[in-house]
Structure 1
Amino acid sequence: MQDPGTFSLARHRPPKALISLVPMIDVMLILLVFFMVTSTYLNLDMIPAVKRADDPSQAAPQSTEGAGTTLMIRIGADGIPTLRGVGMETPALEALFIDRLQSSSALRVLVLPSGAANMQALVSVLDAATRAGVTNLRVVRLEVAE
């Protein structure tokens, strides 16, 4: 027991400071926005859709198998597929694909639609290539550098 004549002061301890998560969340959101703005989504080879060969020496002969293993089909604003400046109908294009596949099984077809091309024209070219048995088919889009 305490002596009634003595006096003691007891100080209250200040409550512990709470750590706020709000500044950390703000920083994380700023970093998220920064990385989203600075990253690019135009390079579609970032996500491999086809398994690549492990040995580059095995992959090289396929690409140099012969001249004319790549066909570039352009689709103009009128919707007509064009190969080397010559407009082609869909049945003729399909016959060309079949002929080229018989001579070279490593045929690569690139389709370049113009910005004003009709979507149905693109789908028709893709359907013709699929019916002919083309397996290496890409749609290419050109972009203007600013």
Structure 2
Amino acid sequence: MQLRRRIPSPRLISLVSMVDVLLIMLVFFMVTSTYLNLDMIPMTQSAGGTEGAPNAATPVMIRLGPDGLPYLRGQPLAYDVLSAQLAALPADTPVLILPSLNADTQSLVTLMDVATSAGVRTLRVVQVAAP
């Protein structure tokens, strides 16, 4: 006599409970998260002209080259010469620093130190976004 072995049916894995848990987690994180408050970013509004603006001085742009040298009006300058030129500017003149992508961070920090020691009060580092 030959016995037949019962072939067990394949087990089904139910994903319903996992979907329920993920939905609960999603709702929890959505309720407890904070969203960006755009009022905390200070912005200035321009009326088109510079007459009557509180800071009507023309900004000075310093480009930091890949070799670590600062360029002012297209001319490479030593840090002591740049410090003297920045000290001769009016106190409310904004200075913009445009670092090259290949410039090292130490050169940027040194340039910022030279500018602040020369008496620059408004100093910004700008980056040109790729198109």
Normalized against structure 2, the TM-score is what? 0.64
Does residue 61 of structure 2 align to residue 72 of structure 1? yes
**Dislocated runs of 4+, deviation >4 Å:** none
Q: Distance in 2 between matches of 1:47 and 1:137?
A: 17
Structure 2 Cα separation of the partners of residues 87 and 46 of structure 1: 38
Report how many aligned residue pairs link the two structures: 103
Give 1 or 2: higher helix fraction.
1
Distance in 2, Cα, partners of 1:116 & 1:46? 32
Identity %: 37
* Structure 2 alignment gaps of length 5 or more: 1-19, 45-50
| 2: CA distance, partners of 1:24 / 1:94 | 59
User: RMSD value over aligned CA atoms?
Assistant: 3.3
TM-score normalised by length of structure 1? 0.58
Q: Which runs of 5+ in 1 are unaligned?
A: 1-20, 53-58
Equivalent residue of 2:81, what SS? helix
Q: Distance in 1 between matches of 2:94 and 2:82?
A: 14
Q: What's the CA shift for 1:71? A: 0.7
Cα shift at 1:28: 4.6
Q: Distance in 2 between matches of 1:119 and 1:93?
A: 19
In 2, Cα distance between equivalents of 1:46 and 1:141 = 21
TM-superposition CA deviations, 1:29-84 (whole Å, max 9, x none): 4x58xx98xx8xxx9x9533x9x7xxxxxx9433335xxx3110001111110011
